[in-house]
Chains A and B, each alone.
Chain A
Amino acid sequence: MRILIVEDEPDLLASLAQALREEGYAVDTAANGDDGLFNAEGTDYDAIVLDVMLPGLDGWEILKRLRKTKKTPVLMLTARDQTRDRVKGLDTGADDYVVKPFDLEEVFARLRAIIRRSANKTTNIIELGDVKIDTAARHVLLKDKPVELTAREYSLVEFMALHRGEVVTRTQLYEHLFDENESSLSNLLDVHVSNVRKKLGADFIATRRGHGYCIE
């Protein structure tokens, strides 16, 4: 899962990015409106955390322009808690909003929710045969027994599961599992896929040669 944070307060941006990375997300950051819009339009993020008050383009403007090309779920961070601000945000195309000051837990939960909704899932539990994925608790059960996965491995499983039945290309996987600062060594992805197969069964992820991977 790859997320973009657009926030101009450096201390807030840094801690949000760190917290989300520790949650297992790949995180890109932008400190002003123009960079934010550039990133948001150029990459398929799983979600965008967008502050309203920004130097350059403000949050509303970014949202308006982004909605012309992309349906990326957007969580607005707003310091204004008046109803009209919230209504404006939701009407402009935001999927949800959090009022500052917020608790990290709430931001995590709302992010999970908008990502889940964008994949047309209604619950946090995804069942794939013997494998059960709890996206809220971020853990995987095989035949009702917990399976130890690294954060990156879990993200791989979750992303594949949310796109069940689709062929997911290696590029897509790179885009969603790694942020812009990580070197995309081609075999890093293969290592993760191989580890997941070891833990959840060899045929859990099928390889479509020349296309990518797929969960049936």
Chain B
Amino acid sequence: MKILKSIKWRLQLWYGLILVVVLAGFGLTAYQLERNRQFRQVDEQLHYRLNLLAKELHHPPRGQDANRPPPGQPPRDQGFEGAPFDRPPQDRFPEDGPPQRDQHRPDFHLPDEDAHLFDASDPHSFYFIIRRDGGDEVARSINQPARAEVIYDHYFNQVNHYDLPQNRSLPPKVMNFEIYRDVVELMPSGETILVGCSIAPELKELRLTALKLTSVGGIILLLGLAGGGWLVSRAIKPIEAISATAVKISAGDLSQRINVAEAESELGQLAAVLNSTFARLETAFAQQKQFASDAAHELRTPVSVILTQTQTALQRERDAASYRQTVEACQRAAQRMRKLIESLLALARFDAGQEVLDRQPFDLARTIADSVELVQPLADERGVKLTVTAAPLEITADAGRLAQVVTNLLTNAIQYNQPEGEVRVTLAAEGGLAVLTIADTGQGIAAADLPRVFGRFYRADSSRTGAGNAGLGLAITKAIVEAHGGTIEVASGENVGTTFTVRLPANVES
């Protein structure tokens, strides 16, 4: 049953079915047309002979009918044209109208020049029988006399004599009996003429025609199925390529791409879409890998400190002061690791959208003032001047997290400032948003580095100055701001300074 689930085979099946129906319809029609043509030719011959016999029955037997074709030229050879049976039955009679019932000629005799029409040498072996009302036989062909009688009886059994019209005549009727075809006419004069022939040659030819049609149809079906199969395979091929690539990718090789040969087709477009999805997946995976590798890398240094410090201390007996130094160094390393782990966890929670924000209305200007107070000692140490321009502005947010944002940005602004530099903090309401800017007068960030500033583990100078500065501060800052539905931007000019702008939804009318 698996084969039925394959699109390829289902397409093939439907295609084959439709082809069979079309071919069968076509073949049957062709066969029917051929059959009609063959029978029409036979009927022509039968009618011709019937008319001939009818005339002979009612007219002088010799050469007085100018309408008769010359002997030896049966109308069969003339094709359809001028077929005698096309004429209305009255035409068979002379201008003075149909003969009366009592004018029949009891001594019927088939003229010699017409005898060949009922010759046994003809493959159709025509025969006739003429009977009068009561069943008395008028004439019968020498050819197939017994057969003619059987068919005559068969015919008469079918005629309901009570249904006969007033003049007890019936127009010529064609009927088939076994391999014979006959035409019977009940003449108004009372005689019944039956002319028949064997249609074995026609039936044989029809069988041959049927065989030909079947074999041609069969060949066309096979060719069609093969061609269809080829077309379907061609159409399916890109799907197979896509599937093969997808398998490789799910096996872990993210660098695989679908080879897009026909970009115009629907499958080509699908392949392009999938390729771009794969590319984004690969980038995301690479970023994830880079993040893990960076995190591990950041942990290596503090672990190295602890290992070297303790191993050195344990090399020999030492005094209390040097043990104390070792323990202090280990503590610093452990603090650094703790800070790193907290940052990583915070980022992971923000990434997963699991960070729960404690949103309360509060005055952002107040938070800024607190943060400034917190970093003031660092600013004093570096000789950096802090100026704050902030009017009270209420927002609804997680006060603790926003204090972290302000402190992070302030610390950066002080650390990357030049000695005797300045940090300007402003807070203003602008169209329903609280806009916080923190501008320093440091050496600025190179334009090429600007897009990476909020990246994880980005460091301005690739150093580790300031233990615990793992390059995650701005990444966390950005995550916090965005979790509050805000935005953060950075603008920088080399040797001019860097300005960070944070926009947050504020509790003011816009």
Contact = CB atoms under 8 A, between A and B. Distances in A.
Interface of A: 8-9, 11-12, 14-16, 18-19, 22, 32, 53-56, 58, 77, 79-80, 82, 99-105
Contacts, number: 77
A84 B469 CA distance: 26
Interface residues of B, number: 26
A103 B311 CA distance: 8
B305 interface: yes
A14 B329 contact: yes
A54 B463 CA distance: 5
B259 interface: no
B464 A11 contact: no
| Central interface residue in B308, B313, B329, B467, by most chain A CB within 10 Å | B308
B265 interface: no
Interface of B: 293, 297, 300-301, 303-309, 311-313, 315-316, 326, 329, 332-333, 461-465, 467
Contact of A80 (B297, B312, B333, B467): B297
A55 B308 contact: no
A150 to B, nearest CB: 15
Nearest to A58: B462
Contacts of A32: 463
Determine chain B's interface SS by DSSP, over half rule. helix
Given A15-B329, A19-B315, A79-B300, A103 B307 contact: yes
A101 B312 contact: no
A11 B303 contact: no
A105 B301 CA distance: 17
A53 B304 contact: no
Contact of B305 (A15, A53, A80): A15
A76 B180 CA distance: 111
Contacts of B311: 19, 103-105
A147 B18 CA distance: 104
Nearest to A104: B311
A103 B300 CA distance: 12
A101 B329 contact: no
Given A11-B332, A80-B297, A100-B300, A16 B462 contact: no
Given A53-B464, A79-B301, 9 more contacts: A8-B463, A11-B305, A12-B304, A79-B297, A99-B300, A100-B303, A101-B306, A102-B308, A104-B315
B329 A55 contact: no
Contacts of A54: 463
A206 B462 CA distance: 51
B464 A8 contact: yes
Contacts of B306: 101
B465 A12 contact: no
Nearest to A20: B312
Given A12-B305, A14-B329, A104 B300 contact: no
B461 A55 contact: yes
9 contacts: A11-B333, A12-B304, A12-B308, A19-B308, A99-B300, A101-B300, A101-B303, A102-B304, A104-B311
Contacts of B333: 11
| Central interface residue in B301, B309, B464, by most chain A CB within 10 Å | B301
A15 B312 contact: yes
Contacts of B315: 19, 22, 104
A22 B312 contact: yes
A22 B317 CA distance: 12
A59 to B, nearest CB: 11
B308 to A, nearest CB: 4
A53 B467 CA distance: 14
Contacts of B465: 8, 55
A185 B271 CA distance: 79
Contacts of B463: 8, 32, 53-56
| Central interface residue in A15, A80, A101, by most chain B CB within 10 Å | A15
A88 to B, nearest CB: 15
Contacts of B293: 80, 82
A140 to B, nearest CB: 21
Contacts of A9: 301, 304-305, 464, 467
A16 B312 CA distance: 8
Contacts of B305: 9, 11-12, 15
Nearest to B310: A15
A63 to B, nearest CB: 16
Given A14-B329, A19-B315, A22-B315, A104 B308 contact: yes
A44 B463 CA distance: 27
B312 A12 contact: no
A72 B467 CA distance: 31
A80 B307 CA distance: 17
A79 B293 CA distance: 10
B127 to A, nearest CB: 105
Contact of A100 (B301, B312, B462, B464): B301
B449 to A, nearest CB: 16
Contacts of B461: 55
A8 B311 CA distance: 19
Contacts of B464: 8-9, 53, 55
Nearest to A77: B304
Contacts of A101: 300, 303-304, 306-307
A101 B308 CA distance: 9
A80 B311 CA distance: 22
Contacts of A80: 293, 297
A55 B307 CA distance: 23
Contacts of B316: 22
A9 B330 CA distance: 12
B304 A100 contact: yes
Contacts of A55: 461-465
B303 A15 contact: no
A215 B399 CA distance: 74
A53 B462 contact: yes
Contacts of B307: 101-104
Nearest to A32: B463
Nearest to B311: A104
